[in-house]
Amino acid sequence: MNSLGKHLLLEYYDCNVDSINDVSRVEQNLNDAAEACGATIIKSVFHGFNPIGVSGVVVISESHLAIHTWPEHGFAAVDVFTCGDTVDPHVAHALLKERFGAQKVKIMEVKRGNLRLPKSRILKVVAEDRATG
């Protein structure tokens, strides 16, 4: 593992308006995406705005999935941040792209925590943090 996590910043354009404006549907789709990529869901919180738009987050053991939608523009901004090697954020992206009917996608992938520390150093830091906490 070269980094602690992968963070996908996703921009979905020309989405199906109904799919990104229905708060229950958006929440279900992000939870489904978390499960599909192998994540462990802790909690999800979503809010529908008046007159339109949805924001929400699915907290996973491995980090989070978050969204904000602008249905009036057919646009959704999504973050999929996963830590470790057991969860694949690209699987979540593929599911969301399909469910939202995105016709154009912009993907930015950021490797988070490029520490390049030997394993013994990582364990030592964890041990020191616990001792001082």
> What amino acid positions are annotated as catalytic residues?
63, 68, 83
Q: Are 33 and 15 in contact (CB under 8 A)?
A: no
Q: Cβ(25)–Cβ(19) under 8 Å?
A: yes
Cα dihedral: 13, 18, 22, 28 (round 10): -70
Those residues whose C-beta lies under 8 Å from the C-beta of residue 89, and which sit 6 or more positions away, are 6, 7, 8, 37, 80, 81, 82
Residue 103 to residue 130: CA distance in whole angstroms:
48
